[in-house]
A and B are shown apart, each in its own frame.
Chain A
Amino acid sequence: GAGVSQSPRYKVAKRGQDVALRCDPISGHVSLFWYQQALGQGPEFLTYFQNEAQLDKSGLPSDRFFAERPEGSVSTLKIQRTQQEDSAVYLCASSRTGTRGETQYFGPGTRLLVL
């Protein structure tokens, strides 16, 4: 079946602009995760949903970052007033039931460049 998809794949924004990144999880997957990967580093956790409930947003770096999953399927990560330090790859992952320690399957990522 189809994997996790993300759009856009690439986004260039001017400093101060708002951006919205979309994630389509694997069909039927209950849990959805967002990670941020800076150049040359491992992914860092941002936030986690189980269905439409946002259960953990401890990794969001500032109140400029906001994520939602209103119908428990597609999710959007929004970054307001982008800064240069927001430049990174944003990865989305989903897992089937959200059980502790379950395997997460990743999408191709959105590469964000803030000028």
Chain B
Amino acid sequence: AQKVTQAQTEISVVEKEDVTLDCVYETRDTTYYLFWYKQPPSGELVFLIRRNSFDEQNEISGRYSWNFQKSTSSFNFTITASQVVDSAVYFCALSVRSKLSFGAGTTVTVRA
């Protein structure tokens, strides 16, 4: 069985601060995929990033970056120089076959 844990329930920051979201996953499969999605107040889940289990290279895409460490089963996500529009619920998700297993989400509030 797959499991995703997002220990942080809520994070509140002031605009321009960096925000790091933690994600820990569990799976017995050696091939898997990890995702981050954003859910703004409108409710639609917006895809942000995807990594596969064979690629631990950490990258930066605009203000987003991620830290994937198989040794600790973690897939953390950072928003640099946060903006008010970043306020949303962020979900980490794991895919082994086709379906996604989601964490409980972290609510990020960015104050002006």
Residues on A lying within 8 angstroms of B by beta carbon are 31, 33, 35, 40-45, 48, 55-56, 59, 89, 91, 93, 95, 98, 100-109, 111
Can you list 6 A-B pairs, Cβ within 8 angstroms, ordered by A? Answer: A35-B100, A91-B45, A100-B33, A103-B50, A104-B47, A111-B43
Q: Is the pair B42, A101 in contact by a Cβ cutoff of 8 Å?
A: no
Contacts of A59 in B (CB 8 A): 99
Complex CA gap A111/B105 in Å reads 18
Q: Is the pair A103, B47 in contact by a Cβ cutoff of 8 Å?
A: yes
User: Assuming the A-B contacts A101-B32, A107-B44, are A42 and B97 also in contact, with contact meaning beta carbons closer than 8 angstroms in the complex?
Assistant: no
B83-112 to A contact mask, C-beta < 8 Å, 1/0: 000000001010101111111110000000
Residues on B lying within 8 angstroms of A by beta carbon are 4, 31-33, 35, 37, 42-47, 50, 52, 91, 93, 95, 97-105
Contacts of B105 in A (CB 8 A): 41-42
Contacts of A106 in B (CB 8 A): 37, 44-47
Query: In the complex, what's the smallest C-beta–C-beta distance from B65 to chain A, in angstroms?
Result: 19
Contacts of B46 in A (CB 8 A): 106
User: Assuming the A-B contacts A101-B52, A109-B43, are A45 and B101 also in contact, with contact meaning beta carbons closer than 8 angstroms in the complex?
Assistant: yes
